[in-house]
Structure 1
C-alpha cells in the first residue's frame, strides 16, 4: 500500500481543490491510501472526502521559535504518524513546506509537485526562482496543461523534459443525473420569467474576465430581451462587478448566486455557458460545463482551445473582447440547432479525454515511478538521477 499525502492551502471552492478531491476519490484504493493536509484551513469541500473516509487534517504551527506561518514541523509529524511515501504538493506555498518537511524527516518521502495555472505570468521573482530550484529536488514536476508547461519553461527556465503534463479531469458521471432538472432549479432561483439563461460559475477575481461578460450584456439584452446572466461563485471582485451591473443599468438581467457546492445542479440552467477568462490553464469549470452538455462560449486562452477542439465543441472568442462575446452568445441563443450540436460534441470530448479516472490513473503511474527511483538506485533530495 502506497500512502499519499496531498498538501494544499485548503479545500475551499476552486479548481485546484477539486482536482485534489477527484484524485483522492479515484485512486485505486487497493494500491493507494490518500489523505490531505491543509495549511490554512479545511474549507467546505473537505466534507466530500470525509464522506468517503479519506482523512483531512489542518497543519498548525505550534513552535514558538519558528515564523508564524511555518508549518513544516507539524507536517513532519503527519508524515511520520501516517508512514507517508509520497507528498503531493499543489502550487508554490505547499511545495516549500513539503521540501522543508522532507529534509527533516527520517523517511525522506518522495515529492510529486503539481503546478496549477497562475493568475498571471510572470509571477513574483522569488516564487519563480524557488520553483526552478525545487524542480531539481522533487521526484516529479507536473503541469496541468501544455500551455502551463510552456509558461514554466519560458518564465522559470525549467527544462522541458523535467515537466510532465497531466490534464485536469472531472467525474463526468456526476453531472448526468441533473441534466433534466433545469426547470426545477430555475424555479428555486426565481428565474421562470426568463426564456434564456447565460453565465457561469467561477472564483470572482479579475483573471476570470466577468467584467467583459457584463459589458456584453446590454447588446445581448437588446437582441434577446428575455435573457438573464447568472453568475455563481465568490471572490474579491464581487463588489466591483455589482457596481458595474448598476452602472450599466442591467440589474433586472443579472443574478449573483454566491458560492455553490452543487454546481452539478446549477449548470443545466445555462442555455449558453460563458467562460470569459483573461488567462487559464485547463479550467475545471469548462470541463464541468462540457460534462453537463452545455453549449459554450469561451476565450481562446491556455488549454481552452485544446479542450474545445479549436472551436469544434464550442465558440472561441478573443480575451477581453465584450463585442465578440455578445455576438457569439446572441448567435447561439437564436440558433438552437447550433446549441445542440456544440453541446453534444462537448460532452463527447470531455467523456473521452478528460475524466477524473484517467487523471487519477496518470498520477498513480507517476507515484509508482517516483518510488521506483528510490527502490532502484535513486537518491534522496535530488542527489543523482531521479526517475521522471
Structure 2
C-alpha cells in the first residue's frame, strides 16, 4: 500500500556508514525492499564509509548532511537542522534511525515535523552495560519514535527492563543477510589447505566483545591434542591486535593462530574458504557474521549470547556453548576437526535454517510490514 497512490518516501538514517552490523542491515534493506512501494534514500550525519559506497553501488541514493569543521575535535551541532531541511524539502514520509546520533536528530525533527512517521532500531547487544553517555540520550529520546525495534528477543527484554519501556512500544525484527561469495586468493590459506590443515575461521573486529583471548586459550588446548591438524584464521583488525599478537608469540602459537588483519568484504572472501566457523563472543545482539556463516553452510561453534540460542535452535545446526567455557569450546572444535561427516551435516542444516528465516529478503519483508503499519496508523 502506498501513500495517496504514491511511493512511500523512506529515509534510512545513520551517523556514519562505515563497516558495522547496523549499516549492513540498511544495505540489505536497500537491496531487497520493494521498490514499487518504497522510494528509499540513505542519509548520514557525520561520515561516509565502506557500506555507504556499497549502498551507492547497489543503486540507492546516499546523502551526506555533514559540513566540514576546521577543528576535527569540534562537534557539529547543526546536523539536526540540515536533516529537518532535507526531510521537509523531500517530503519524506518515514524516517528509520539506527544509532544514537540519528535517534537524537530524528527525534528533534519529529517534534517540529509531526506528520513524519518515525522508527528506531536498537543494535547494541549488551544491555544493561550501556555507555553512560549513550544511555542518557536513549533514555531521553526513546519516547519520540512511533515504534522501537530490537533485533533480538533477549535484547528487546533487556532494553525494556533497562529503560522501563512498555512492551507494546517495541517489536523484534530479526536481522537478515545475503549469500555472497568473492573469489580471491588468500595465499596463506591456500598454503594451509595444501598442508591438509582444517581451517577454523573467524571474522570480527579485534575488540573485547569478540572473545579473541578465549580463542587463544582454545588453540593451546587443541595444539596439545591435535598437533599440526588445524589453524585459526582471523579476518579483522582492532584495538587489541598488538596484545593478541604478543600473546600468540608468547604462547608459541604462531603456527596455529593467524591474524590476517583487515580483509575487504571479509565474510564473502574468507567464509567460503574455511571448514569451521568459530565465534567465541562475550556478547552480541544478533550477529550478522553468524548468519553469513550459516548462509555459507559452515559447521559452527559459537557462544550462547544474545539471540544465538534462537538462531541455532537445533543440535544439528551447530554447537552453542556458554561464553568463556574454554574446555567445551575446545572439545566441540576437536569433534568437528576430526569428523568431516559431522561438519558437513551441521553445515547443511545451518544453511537450511538460514534459508528459511534469515535471508535479507525476509528481513526486508518484515520491515516493509512494519513500515506499512506505522504509515497507516
Q: How high is the TM-score relative to the length of structure 1?
A: 0.87
The change in CA–CA distance for 1:261 and 1:77 in structure 2 (over 3 A counts) is farther
By how many angstroms is 1:45 displaced? 2.0
In 2 relative to 1, CA 12–125 (structure 1 residues): closer, same or farther, beyond 3 Å? closer
Residue 50 of structure 1, aligned match among 56, 65, 80:
56
Q: What residue is the counterpart of 1:274 in the other structure?
A: 278
Q: Which runs of 5+ in 1 are unaligned?
A: 374-388
2:295 corresponds to 1:288: no
Match of 1:158 in 2: 165
Asked if 1:328 corresponds to 2:336, the answer is no
Offset of residue 347 of structure 1:
0.4
State the secondary structure of the residue aligned to 1:252.
coil
Q: Distance in 1 between matches of 2:272 and 2:345?
A: 16
Partner of 1:378: none
- How far has the Cα of 1:244 moved from its partner? 1.6
**Alignment gaps of 5+ in structure 2:** 1-6
Q: What residue is the counterpart of 1:141 in the other structure?
A: 148
- Summarize the Cα distance change of 1:325–1:114 in structure 2 as closer, same or farther, 3 Å threshold: same
- 1:359 matches 2:367: no
Aligned-partner Cα distance in 2 for 1:2–1:9: 23
Q: Kindly report which structure 2 residues correspond to 1:7-156, keeping only aligned pairs within 5 A, or say none.
A: 7-61=13-67, 68-70=75-77, 71-105=79-113, 108-119=115-126, 121-125=128-132, 127-156=134-163
CA displacement 1:79-125 (0-9 Å, x = unmatched): 133321111100222101111123344x7421110001334533144
What TM-score do you get using the length of structure 2 for normalisation?
0.90
CA distance in 1 between counterparts of 2:372 and 2:240 reads 42
- Tell me if structure 1 keeps the 8 A contact 2:277–2:299: yes
CA RMSD of aligned residues (A): 2.2
Distance 2:241 2:86 in 1: 37
The corresponding residue for 1:235 is: 238
CA displacement at 1:217 relative to structure 2: 0.6
* Partner Cα distance (2:281, 2:311) in 1: 15
Q: 1:216 to 1:120 in 2, by over 3 A?
A: farther
- For residue 57 of structure 1, report the CA deviation from its aligned partner: 2.1
Match of 1:100, SS state, is: helix
CA 1:215–1:358 in structure 2 vs 1: closer, same or farther (change >3 Å)?
same
Q: Which residue of 1 aligns with 2:217?
A: 215
Deviation at 1:300, TM superposition (A): 0.9
2:9 counterpart of 1:6: no
From the superposition, tell whether residues 241 and 108 of structure 1 become closer, same or farther in structure 2 (CA, over 3 Å). Answer: farther
C-alpha contact (below 8 Å) 1:194/1:228 kept by paired residues = no
Provide closer, same or farther for how the CA distance between residues 6 and 217 of structure 1 changes in structure 2, counting only shifts above 3 A.
same
Find the counterpart in structure 1 of residue 311 from structure 2.
307
